[in-house]
């Protein structure tokens, strides 16, 4: 890429970050990651000029990358700290995973569409992030072999709170999950004890659906 183009996107990223900070008191760690990760490199070149608007973008296979405000909100609500182990469901293009990695977290991420899983790995390589813990599979099962997680971020709309994922939270850990069929409510489930959970509701959002099984 031409250096001046790189500089242009950097400027756009700064403006996006500033506008997000005005909309909500996001943590500094979240804002820093948004300012750092080149969102345009996770979408097709034809969409680069839209990459730093606060809008969802198509990533192929009928899926979308959430708008930056939603990415920032879900990440903020996780309330995780550097070096925590987290799980994302719905890797998509890999942008949300890159945001979590930029915050110094150990990130596992599962995607059920093979072409997106492959594309996400490429995107993460291109942008200098580690793609080794991106996994092809069904997120409803989670990753019990790597549990417990301090945070679980579900990037697709779940019909109900996925039970198996709740069980993979560390005690004190939080799952941020949009729940509902047409519209979703952003829920945060905190595991308060071995068998106890608390739920908070952060209002309406719209996501692509969380589907069972994998595409091949
Ligand atoms: N976080 C993504 C946004 C992806 S959109 C990004 O930054 O680009 C939601 C994704 O969830 C889609 O790619 C969809 O295929 C995936 N998905 C839906 N149901 C799933 C499931 N059961 N397991 C894993 N991924 C799932």
At 1, the pLDDT band (50, 70, 90 cuts) reads low
Mean pLDDT over 22-36 rounds to: 98
88 and 97 Cβ atoms separated by less than 8 Å: yes
Name the residue of 156, 158, 164, 216 whose CB sits within 8 Å of the most ligand 1 atoms, as the mutation to test its pocket.
156
At 5, the pLDDT band (50, 70, 90 cuts) reads confident
What is the three-class DSSP state of 196? Answer: coil
**What are the pLDDT digits (tens) for 142-180?**
999 999 999 999 999 999 999 999 999 999 999 999 999
Alpha-carbon separation of residue 179 from 31, 77, 133, 158 (angstroms):
25, 15, 25, 5
Residues with CB under 6 A from ligand 1: 59, 63-66, 89-90, 92-93, 95-96, 110-113, 116, 138-140, 155-156, 208, 210-211
Name the residue with tokens 């069929």.
181
Q: So what's the pLDDT on residue 3?
A: 75
Write the CATH number of the domain with boundaries 54-205.
Answer: 3.40.50.150
pTM as predicted: 0.97
In a 10 Å sphere around its CB, with 0-12 CB exposed, 13-18 middle and 19+ buried, how is residue 36 labelled? middle
Picking from 39, 149, 32, 25, the residue whose alpha carbon sits closest to that of residue 77 is: 25
């Amino acid at each position: 890429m031409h250096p001046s183009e790189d500089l242009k996107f950097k400027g756009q990223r700064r403006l996006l970050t500033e506008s997000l900070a005005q909309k909500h008191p996001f943590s500094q760690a979240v804002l820093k990651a948004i300012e750092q990760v080149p969102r345009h490199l996770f979408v097709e070149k034809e969409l680069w000029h839209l990459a730093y608007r606060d809008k969802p973008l198509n990533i192929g296979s009928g899926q979308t990358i959430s708008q930056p405000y939603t990415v920032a909100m879900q990440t903020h609500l996780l309330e995780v700290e550097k070096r925590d182990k987290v799980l994302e469901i719905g890797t998509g293009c890999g942008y949300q995973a890159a945001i979590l990695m930029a915050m110094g977290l150990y990130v596992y991420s599962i995607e059920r569409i093979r072409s997106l899983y492959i594309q996400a790995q490429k995107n993460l390589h291109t942008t200098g992030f580690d793609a080794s813990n991106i996994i092809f599979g069904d997120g409803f099962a989670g990753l019990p072999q790597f549990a417990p997680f301090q945070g679980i971020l579900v990037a697709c709309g779940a019909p109900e709170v996925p039970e198996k994922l709740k069980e993979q939270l560390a005690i004190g850990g939080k799952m941020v999950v949009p729940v509902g069929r047409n519209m979703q409510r952003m829920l945060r489930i905190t595991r308060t004890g071995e068998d106890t959970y608390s739920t908070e509701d952060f209002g309406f959002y719209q996501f692509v659906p969380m589907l069972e099984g994998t595409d091949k």
